A and B are shown apart, each in its own frame.
Chain A
Amino acid sequence: MLKALKGRFEQGFRTGKFPDAPPMLSDRFPGRPVLEAARCTGCGACMRTEVCPSGAVAGKDGRPEIDTGKCIFCGACAEICPEKAIGFSQEYRMAAMTRRALVVRPGEPYIPERPTNREFLRFCGRSLKIRQVSAGGCGACELDFNVLGTLAWDMGRFGIQIVASPRHADCILVTGPVSRNMLVALKKTYDAAPRPVWVIASGACAISGGLYAGSPECLGGVEEILKPDLYVPGCPPHPATLLEGMLRLMNRR
């Protein structure tokens, strides 16, 4: 017991300062993409199908748009651009409440969305009980969600808690593109949760199928069967992106 106390003392206080201070990010962290309208000549290099592995770059009037709901942040589009018109900021606040807000357009300023769902705020303003379901995917989205439960992030401080049974859940957090083999289990979990129930799609896979969109073994994301209330981009989303998104959904920041 004394040893445990000594150990506890030596480890110190380790919960990060987030959200009072921005999270510590690597200078190589690729955050929300930036498209510089002034630089883009419309050459179309980034829009060629063999560039983006997840089909996230689309052309509109000869200029690219990046759908962060599909993007896996590999940087290939930025590397191919001869004008250096595509870059990645350190903006980690990428979660959105509408699918539309995930699309980055040239020259458009970015302001993170505010919650509009009054019903949600009335029911869950101060706490959020989450049942997570992995439905395909690679397991990294789950790992970085679990990280929020460690003392480095301690999401329990904000009333966000992982629950074992869907019966106790306010919210179903889905990761993965929804593999055909998980379809029934995901639907059953959703049906077992008491209403009203909200849905979070976390990671490129869950939002749009990500890399797996088009595979006959998967659907193209949660949207094919459920309507998400929060979309969290990333492959996998940085813990700060996910936590910030949830806090914003709860109107707590």
Chain B
Amino acid sequence: MLPMKIGNGMAALWREVPVCEMAEFRAWLREISETERRRIAAFFAVPDDEQFRLVAVAEDAGGCGFALCSVRVCRVYPALSGEIAALQKFERLIAERDGLVPEGHPYLQPVRRLREDEDGRGFLAERGAAVHDVAVGPVHAGVIEPGHFRFECVGEKVHSLEIALGYQHRGIEAMLAGGPDEKTLHLMETADGSSSIAVATAYARLIEALSGIAVPAETVTLRAIALELERIANHVGDLGALAGDVAFLPTASFCGRIRGEYLNMTAELCGNRFGRNFILPGGTRFGLDAARAGKILDWLRRVKRDLDGALKLFFDSPTVLDRLENTGRVSRETALHLGAVGPAARASGVARDARCDFGWSEYAPYAACECVTEETGDVLARARVRLRELEFSHRFLDAALAEAVRRPIEAVRCDSGIFPAADSIAVSAVEGWRGEHIHVALTDSRGYFEVYRMVDPSLRNWEMLGMALRGEEISNFPICNKSFNLSYCGHDL
């Protein structure tokens, strides 16, 4: 069996996706899930006459991009998750969305749908006189998104943590079917409001692949500038929030303000602090003239000095380090096993970063891509990955903005309209600040979306939080949670 190869941001005909036997399919997926440089990016069902096709999209880092393969199954089929843990959520989604029954699935819980009666969701109840439940959410103490956490504790120690999400479910994937239309881009931007630029870029690349639109290199650089600003703002916010959770107030309050500066730089670029309405399929809505690039560059350099001071204070403080070290450890094996991505995976020593793995051309002229990893997999490692990634992002922005001062970037748009190819499939990946966003679209005979699947990095990472908490004091939950800072809405869509 030969899976079909397809590059990041490329399209192919749907009928060319090979169909193989279940045994081969299973063996192929198992092999992929056990290799660091490869991983399962997406897994979904497509109705096929009376049956279904299960389609797997695997990433092949350093190779050519993606490998696609599929298998025909009936409504009831033997689950793959028993052997391949990274598939567990995908199979649950397939069961929930398409009504398939993955028989023998070890944990067939709802993903985005709550039962009618609130307590109807069965939890993995522990037995024993010393075990007690702590239930938290969906409404939490702070201003954050809703989710439900169920801790099974023995005394103060967490034995296991179950995470039940779905409260932010708005039905985005269903709304995307039949597109693209006037809403599509904006649904992308609001799939996860903190990653608007990453998601919109992934979508734009996918549409460009399907419609055969080539965007100029400067436009791609401009998108990367926005993407790195988004990454910095969020990393700074996360480090500040971590400082807040360990009661290190100077850095907490400095970072809160500094994060706002980066959001304002994004607003300088496009008018919106979250980069809304900036990335368009086929281009960007605004260009970057020399004066504006110069203004942002000066601003960036000024703020970087404040940021360095605030973070040095934090990472030089022994009380802080003591609190972060050895807290919420996730081993490399576990991270690989779960199919984790992004800074969280990198903190556990799994070198996965779409920016490097797919050899993104936009970074190359300005800064050499480096995949930052740490070994320890604890809260400190997740903090340090962010700290080090900030350096790369600043280096890139510094060089790219300086170049824009010399050679301004024009706004480019595709005014002739967008016509995705019929009966095609396309895949794109963008490394957002939480990890890689994978988009897969399948078009019908008229070029409209028949299936659109967006895989948020959080979808692949939430289980890591559960594992980090095992054996921890329950009071460590807030800092563990902050150290991942996963998305609820991106998961729930």
| In the bound complex, CA of A211 to CA of B118 (Å) | 27
Q: Do B190 and A140 have beta carbons less than 8 Å apart?
A: yes
Assess the A137–B489 pair: CB atoms within 8 A.
yes
A171 to B234, CA, bound (A): 28
Contact between B274 and A140, CB atoms less than 8 A apart: yes
How far apart sit A176 and B170, CA to CA, in the bound complex (Å)? Answer: 10
What A residues does B313 contact at CB under 8 A? 3-4, 7
Cβ B257 vs Cβ A76 within 8 A:
no
B286 contact set on A, CB distance < 8 A: 28
Are B310 and A7 interface neighbours, CB within 8 A?
yes
Report how far A25 CA is from B274 CA in the complex, Å.
14
* B195 nearest CB across to chain A (Å): 9
* A180-213 near B? 1/0 per residue, CB < 8 Å: 1110110001000000000000000000000110
Instruction: Please provide the chain A residues from 64 to 118 with a CB less than 8 Å away from any CB of chain B in the complex.
Output: 72-76
Q: Cβ of A232 < 8 Å from any Cβ of B?
A: no
Shortest CB-to-CB span from A242 to chain B, Å, is 12
Q: How many residues of A contact B (CB 8 A)?
A: 64
A139: contacting residue among B192, B268, B271, CB under 8 A: B192
CB pair A152 B257 closer than 8 Å: yes
Chain B interface residue bracket vs A: 35 or more
The distance from the CB of B379 to the nearest CB of chain A, in whole angstroms, is 21
B186–A162 CB distance below 8 A:
no
Q: Cα distance A141–B145 when bound, in Å? A: 10
Give the Cβ gap from A190 to chain B, nearest Cβ, in Å: 11
Chain B residue, CB-CB nearest to A163: B141
Residues of the B chain whose Cβ atoms lie less than 8 Å from the Cβ of A185: 138-139, 146, 167
Interface string of A160-179 (1 = CB under 8 A from B): 00101100000000001101
Is A144 an interface residue, CB under 8 A from the partner?
yes
In the complex, residue of chain A having the shortest beta-carbon distance to the beta carbon of B271: A28
CB of A152 within 8 A of CB of B256, answer yes
> What is the number of contacts between chain A and chain B, taking CB atoms within 8 Å?
177
Does B155 reach chain A (CB closer than 8 Å)? no
Question: In the complex, which residues of chain A have a beta carbon less than 8 angstroms from the beta carbon of B144?
Answer: 134, 142
Q: Return chain A residues, CB-CB under 8 Å to B334.
A: none
Interchain CB contact under 8 A, B169 and A139 = no
Q: Mark A215-230, 1 if CB is under 8 A from B, else 0.
A: 1111000000000000
Known contacts A7-B313, A218-B171: A29-B271 contact under CB 8 Å: yes
Interface string of B253-275 (1 = CB under 8 A from A): 11011011001100111111110
Known contacts A28-B286, A181-B114, A176 near B138 by CB under 8 Å:
no
Say yes or no for A143: interface residue by CB 8 A criterion.
yes
A contact residues around B254 at 8 Å (CB): 7, 11
**Residue in chain B with minimal CB distance to A205:** B190
Tell which of A7, A26, A52, A139 has the most Cβ of chain B within 10 Å.
A139
Rounded to whole Å, the gap between the CB of A221 and the closest CB of chain B is 13
Of all chain A residues, which has the CB nearest B256? Answer: A150
**A211 to B317 Cα, complex, angstroms:** 45
Instruction: Give B191's nearest chain A residue, CB to CB.
Output: A138
A179 touches B170 (CB 8 A): yes
Contact assessment for A28 and B268 in the assembled complex, using a CB-CB cutoff below 8 Å: yes
Contact: A151 with B310, CB < 8 Å? no
| Neighbouring B residues of A125 by C-beta, 8 Å | none
| Chain B 170-201 residues near chain A, CB threshold 8 A | 170-171, 174-175, 181-183, 185-187, 189-194, 196
The one of B143, B170, B270 that contacts A217, using a Cβ cutoff of 8 Å: B170
Q: Does B109 contact A (CB under 8 A)?
A: no
Cβ contacts under 8 Å, B285 to chain A? 75
A215–B171 alpha-carbon span in the complex (Å): 7
**Residue in chain A with minimal CB distance to B240:** A150
Report if A51-B306 is in contact (Cβ < 8 Å); known contacts: A150-B257, A215-B175, A236-B274: no
Q: A7-B313, A215-B175, A217-B169 are in contact. Are A134 and B182 (CB under 8 A)?
A: no
Chain A contacts to B: CB under 8 angstroms: 3-4, 7-8, 10-11, 14, 24-26, 28-30, 50-54, 72-76, 132-147, 149-152, 162, 164-165, 176-177, 179-182, 184-185, 189, 211-212, 215-218, 235-236, 238
Instruction: Name 5 extra pairs, CB < 8 A, besides A74-B277, A182-B167.
Output: A4-B250, A53-B183, A73-B272, A73-B277, A138-B192
Q: What are 28 pairs between A and B in contact, CB < 8 Å?
A: A7-B250, A7-B309, A24-B264, A26-B264, A28-B268, A28-B270, A74-B186, A136-B489, A137-B170, A137-B193, A138-B193, A138-B489, A139-B145, A140-B193, A143-B194, A143-B274, A149-B256, A151-B257, A176-B168, A181-B166, A181-B167, A184-B118, A212-B171, A215-B174, A217-B171, A235-B276, A236-B193, A236-B274
